[in-house]
Structure 1
Amino acid sequence: MAAAVALGAAARGTTAPNPNVGCLVIAPDGAILGRGATRPGGRPHAEAVALAEAGERAQGASLVTTLEPCNHRSHRGPTCTDLILQSGVAHVVAAIEDPDRRTSGEGLHRLRGAGISVESGIGAAEARESMAGWLTRMALGRPRVTLKLALSIDGKIALPSGESKWITGEDARAHVHLERAHTDMILVGRGTLLADRPRLDVRLPGLEERSPRRALLSRGEPVEGWEMLASPEDVFRLHDVNDLLVEGGSATATAFLAADLVDRILLYRAPIIIGEGRQSVGYIGLDAIGDAHGRWEPRDGRRLGIDRLEVYERVRQPGPASLDFARD
């Protein structure tokens, strides 16, 4: 399952509106017969890719997938449940059930009814993490929103003049580019656009084609080459975005936090002190310290060269899946 999760995770940022699933077809002796990840644009599904590679060798083999095989009809291709039944696979392992009510549990039920041995729940936490963007969209009707902040030790994002290049070092900047490569869309505010003219592309060797779509948070005139969001709440109309990365600046970060639309924070902290300078975030509607507690959970922390990365996730209660944002 770990290998299937890795395949799916590598496809994150390319498969919307579908999930980035990973799949393996494995022979009884442990040999890998087929590997698959959801292809760009969401089709073919990972199971279809892995089964096509395995071909007739799939007879009697095991299929390991990070998400329950789909069981609802689509004009874009056959259901994965049908493909598995036709392949002769004898055993299926799925990390998590599909939250789409059109399939939820029915794909695995149908496979069991056909005499196929089925297991689920193995590697569930890792699979959920790898598909967090799509699962957020299914549960909340919008993409998973990640806020990226590059700060000094004393929490500043720029000098009073607005100069901010470069607060962090090369290793931290490379990590940001890797995050961009696994993002469907990246967003900044008009102030950042005018001050920095950011390219917001991916400049890691071999991943240049993974540059995400660019969005601008602004009520002003449209800008060529940018998709416009008038307010943070416009993320609810992004039906073909699983992961949205918000990069700047302070006003944009404040707007998304005040609207409680940030699910994950990537905080890159540089070992410098700026003193008087621009704050990373303004007033977000909290009037008591007690109201700030319990909202964020630290999930990761590591050194990136001279800098340090801290990852936090918003604590939320799970919600029901939305058919409007199901996979195709």
Structure 2
Amino acid sequence: MHNVTVTPEVWERILAIRSGRACSCCGNWSDGESAALDLYGPLARRDLGPITVAQIGQSLDGRVATVSGDARDVSGPDGLAHLHRIRALVDGVMIGVGTALHDKPRLDVRLCSGPNPARIVIDPKGRLPDDALVLRADGCRRLVIQAVDRKRPAGVEVIRLPLVDGLFAPQAILAALHEAGLSTLLIEGGGITIAGFLEAQLLTRLQIAVAPLLIGAGRAALTTPNARLTLAECIRPDTRVFGLGSDVVFDCGLTPLANAAALPLHDRAKSSPCQTASYLS
């Protein structure tokens, strides 16, 4: 397991990777800072094409909430900071309408420096109220993906898609968001939404942040719609493990692109950072 240390200097480098001004390989870093570059560098890169990452915060026994629905403190403080860092590195963060209604998330970046992402809600039947926190006007893009002909407040972008057996096709969602200029996406919840993209083989990475907590009963973190009957049929991703302090993150690469993004571009022993020209070459 690699223990992560996010210093201001290494986070500045990671944001520079996001903007195409540096790489994650070069420079003199501590072991913890190097682990931070290994964890966040693949999410910050923009030179390998569109990526879709999902993140789940869960207990040791695979729960995301109690039987009453209490999910507020499943992730520890370092797990929450990790989630905010991912938000700062993506173009848009996506949730299903159930998560928007129940958890009332803000989906902004508060626990680290960096830009706020576009906020995207999958709302087939138009259930999300116009005064929901995710639709607040604060200068960030707000998008609702819906099947119904419902108007939204000024500034909220509406993407109309058809339903297939009562659901949106995950491929159609990604295609529409890429067309809207959002190529690096985070699916933050809920488990049903994440499972749909996982089952459709559309996730580049899946990150599971495990907190030292036993809930015992309640909502499971991830349940795919099609059960696998043998272990040979199960997904076995290329997995790296990072310690964040209060939480442990399992970073699962699900595609060749994910594995390529985790490979260094240069020898990390170099002392000077790469500049845009060499990074994008």
| TM tier, smaller | 0.5 to 0.7
CA deviation after TM superposition for structure 1 residue 303, in Å: 2.0
Specify the alignment match of 2:116 in structure 1.
211
What TM-score do the two structures reach when normalised by structure 2?
0.62
With over 3 angstroms needed to count, the CA separation of the structure-2 counterparts of 1:133 and 1:281, relative to structure 1, is farther
What TM-score do the two structures reach when normalised by structure 1?
0.54
With over 3 angstroms needed to count, the CA separation of the structure-2 counterparts of 1:192 and 1:182, relative to structure 1, is same
Larger radius of gyration: 1
Q: Report 1:139-288 matches (<5 A).
A: 144-204=51-111, 206-207=113-114, 210-221=115-126, 223=128, 224=130, 225=135, 226-230=142-146, 231=168, 232-233=170-171, 234-239=173-178, 240-285=181-226, 286-288=228-230
SS where residue 49 of structure 2 aligns?
A: helix
CA deviation after TM superposition for structure 1 residue 220, in Å: 1.8
What amino acid maps onto 2:97 in structure 1? R
Which has a greater percent of strand? 1
Specify the alignment match of 1:98 in structure 2.
none
CA deviation after TM superposition for structure 1 residue 6, in Å: 8.7
CA contact (8 A) 1:12 1:183 kept: no
Instruction: Give a deviation string over 1:136-184, Cα, whole Å, max 9, x none.
Output: 33xxxxxx11111011111011111111011121111111111111111
With over 3 angstroms needed to count, the CA separation of the structure-2 counterparts of 1:290 and 1:284, relative to structure 1, is farther
With over 3 angstroms needed to count, the CA separation of the structure-2 counterparts of 1:267 and 1:220, relative to structure 1, is same
1:10 aligns with 2:15: yes
CA contact (8 A) 1:8 1:130 kept: no
CA deviation after TM superposition for structure 1 residue 9, in Å: 4.1
What amino acid maps onto 2:177 in structure 1? L
Unaligned runs of 5+ in 2: 1-9, 25-37, 136-141, 147-167, 259-279
CA deviation after TM superposition for structure 1 residue 306, in Å: 2.3
1:22 aligns with 2:21: yes
Match of 1:304 among 230, 237, 244: 244
What amino acid maps onto 2:15 in structure 1? A
User: Using CA pairs below 8 Å that are at least 6 residues apart, which structure has the higher relative contact order?
Assistant: 2
Unaligned runs of 5+ in 1: 14-19, 24-64, 67-124, 138-143, 319-326
Q: How many residues align?
A: 199
Identity across matched positions, percent: 28
> Considering only aligned residues, what root-mean-square deviation do their CA atoms show, in Å?
3.1
With over 3 angstroms needed to count, the CA separation of the structure-2 counterparts of 1:12 and 1:246, relative to structure 1, is farther
Specify the alignment match of 2:267 in structure 1.
none
